[in-house]
A = this chain, B = another copy of it.
Amino acid sequence: MNATEALKKLSDVSMEGLCGSILERHRETVRVQKPHIAISKLVLIIEATLKLSSRQSFHATSLRQISEESGVSMGSLYSYFDSKDTLLLMILDQVATTTTNILGNPPEEVLAKPLNHLRWLIETHVELTDAMLPWFNFAFLEAKSFPRFGRKAAIESEEASERIFREVIEKGVQQACFVVEDPAFAAALVKPLLQDWYVKRSKWRRRGINAKEYSTRVKNFVEKALSVNAAT
């Protein structure tokens, strides 16, 4: 895979792209051989899962419902995962992976100035969660109710994305573009602002706020709270 393909893949948030990534990561659990068949069926299964789980919880969603909604029979479902928990994990993992991949690879031109980097992070986070809305809603709702292994993974994912924000704020403080006493705390407060965009999406839709407006206002709010020195 060359650099262009890698980049293309990095930012492919289509259902096919995301399910392709899921297939790679669970190659030995998926018993279907041909990738193009596996991916197209995974798309159907995960679309159905996200749709049904947005109305009721994942736990309340039965595999029979997923089977009916996706058009994949009960038996076939188990060629794509070995348990309902694995299906949950596939989706949660993919959200975490995509988030880290995208937010962790900013374009070079924003890296020089922490303010630009911060703005890019906010814009990109809003755009990403917009493009993958059902995925992020699902992950937010189901990560907490997840027992054993997934809990730890959810915490790590949460901390990974918080660290990205903390580092840019710390750098900004060092370069005197931001004035804030505790960068870690500030970063921890930016996250819920961005989460609100997809968690309470219907509220924002009702108020006629779109993605661009939302990220503009969050940037505004955060920059004031960070006492931004615009000159730097």
Contacts and interface: CB of A to CB of B under 8 A. Distances in A.
Interface of A: 55-57, 59-60, 141, 144-145, 147, 155, 158, 181-182, 184-186, 188-189, 191-193, 195-196, 199-200, 203, 207, 209, 217-218, 220-222, 224-227
Contacts of A224: 224-227
Nearest to A55: B147
Contact of A196 (B59, B147, B189, B200): B189
A182 to B, nearest CB: 7
A218 B192 CA distance: 13
- The DSSP consensus for interface residues of chain A is helix
A164 to B, nearest CB: 16
Contacts of A191: 196
B59 A57 contact: yes
15 contacts: A60-B145, A158-B203, A181-B220, A182-B217, A184-B207, A186-B221, A189-B196, A189-B221, A192-B193, A192-B195, A193-B193, A221-B225, A222-B225, A224-B225, A224-B227
Contacts of A147: 55-56
A191 B145 CA distance: 22
Contacts of A226: 224
A57 B193 contact: no
A87 to B, nearest CB: 15
B185 A217 contact: yes
Given A56-B147, A184-B207, A224-B226, 10 more contacts: A55-B147, A56-B145, A141-B141, A141-B145, A185-B209, A191-B196, A192-B195, A224-B224, A224-B227, A225-B225
Contact of A60 (B59, B141, B196, B199): B59
A143 B189 CA distance: 23
